[in-house]
Chain A
Amino acid sequence: DAGVIQSPRHEVTEMGQEVTLRCKPISGHNSLFWYRQTMMRGLELLIYFNNNVPIDDSGMPEDRFSAKMPNASFSTLKIQPSEPRDSAVYFCASSLRRGMVVTGELFFGEGSRLTVL
């Protein structure tokens, strides 16, 4: 398996532009997580999905952020409009969940490094 695939790996954009980050989870996994990592705030959970359904989006910073998972093999995180403070590395991770518990490890993608000028 190729692992969790994220794109783009690097994105530089100007303030006000729309940014779309993409994630392909590992086939067969039914939980997907979006995290944001910065030096100041560490790793923050933004949103997670179980069986393509958003379960908790309380970590999404503002209405400018939205996430979708239209099917089991694809998710997007969109920022519109982007701001310089959104600059961070955004990670997607997937895992297998049975019942109420994630049964094992999270598999992370390599991240999307976003710079908003």
Chain B
Amino acid sequence: SQQGEEDPQALSIQEGENATMNCSYKTSINNLQWYRQNSGRGLVHLILIRSNEREKHSGRLRVTLDTSKKSSSLLITASRAADTASYFCATDLYSSASKIIFGSGTRLSIRP
């Protein structure tokens, strides 16, 4: 079964707008990561946030983590056409060394 569930499943926004994706998970984690996947390609790591961190920034990306709610969000600011992709959260489970489980993903489309 999947550890993470992402919301929404699909998101379409205008170029320049901000995109927010959410991830909920079920069990305690060591860290949570976000990945991007372009069509037909492998996944590419975007950002990692540890369980003792609440917020992290990387360029136009902002990730938050709320361990009490078992949820995370990924914000992409000032979206560009090149941001069109699927985005996945991945959790490193606390109870299982190095078991990294991916969520169902959000398909993001940026309209020009």
The number of residues on chain A lying at the interface, defined by a beta carbon within 8 Å of a beta carbon of chain B, is 26
A25 within 8 A of B: no
Q: Contact at A102–B102, with CB atoms within 8 Å?
A: no
Q: Interface stretch among B16-24, B39-47, B72-80?
A: B39-47
Interface of B is mostly: strand
| Closest CB in chain A relative to B36 CB, distance in Å | 11
Q: In the complex, which of the residues B30, B33, B99, B102 contacts A43, with contact meaning CB atoms closer than 8 Å?
A: B102
Q: Which residues of A contact B (CB under 8 A)?
A: 4, 31, 33, 35, 42-43, 45, 48, 50, 55-56, 91, 93, 95, 97, 100-102, 104-111
Instruction: Count B-side interface residues using an 8 Å CB cutoff.
Output: 24
Contact B100 A106 (CB under 8 A): yes
Give Cα A105–Cα B31 distance, bound, in whole angstroms.
Answer: 11
Could you say which of A4, A100, A107 contacts B45, with CB atoms under 8 Å apart?
Answer: A107
What residue of chain B has the Cβ atom nearest to residue A107's Cβ? B45
